[in-house]
Amino acid sequence: MIAIVDYGMGNLRSVQKALQKLGYDAQIASDAETVFRADKVILPGVGAFGAAMENLRRAALDAAIRDFIATGKPFLGICLGLQLLFEVSEESWKEREEPGLGVLRGRVVRFPEGLTDEQGKRLKVPHIGWNALRFVRQDTLFEGVAEGAHVYFVHSYFPTPADESCVVALSDYGLPFCCAVQSQNVRAVQFHPEKSSAVGLRILRNFAEQ
């Protein structure tokens, strides 16, 4: 069973429906025990980093996620679910940076103001739309996905891993940014595979077959 972590923030149903369309048993889980005992876990997310971490802690899902990852079973973070894996984020309503799960070393930062495309056109933040993948190295999550394949993004922040060896793919939005990582059994993407048409379904299938 694939558990999709429900902590009150995320496109749970769209991720579940995409996996069910592919023929996999995907269940939405809001309790720590179900998450820990799953065969695979997906951590989705849309919204603010600090609110997400508060919700995870309140439901003891932060510990459940860390414990699950320690088992070595497959784990996938999506969008905010990728960012939450890192140590800290600039996205905070407090005077200090917001602490994350700390599974991966590094920070989550905001796109700077004044970004422009190759023609000099000013780019808006948040970044919303389709962008190409540029692979840094191979990973089974992207088996059958071509270099330059387009996926769908909605975000204002992106990760800056301290260990660049975990970076699998980059994309470009006024600057190159990390959009996919892998470290042992942990994989995570900044884009939304459930909204990325056939390419996204292939990525979800690859994860489900891990």
- Give the other-Cβ count within 10 Å of 119's Cβ: 5
- Give me the sign of the Cα torsion angle 203, 15, 20, 68: positive
Out of 91, 98, 155, 192, the active site residue is 192
Of 127, 166, 179, 194, the catalytic one is: 194
**CB proximity list for 19: less than 8 A, separation 6 or greater:** 2, 4, 26, 204, 208
91 is catalytic: no
Query: Is 79 among the catalytic positions?
Result: yes
* Catalytic residue list contains 155: no
Q: Which one from 79, 166, 178, 179 is the annotated catalytic residue?
A: 79
Alpha-helical (H) ranges within 71-154 are 80-83
Q: From CA 25, how far away is CA 79, in angstroms rounded? A: 22
Report the alpha-carbon angle 115-99-130, nearest 5.
Answer: 35
- Report the C-alpha gap between 155 and 153 in whole angstroms: 6
**Residues annotated as catalytic (active site), given as ranges:** 79, 192, 194
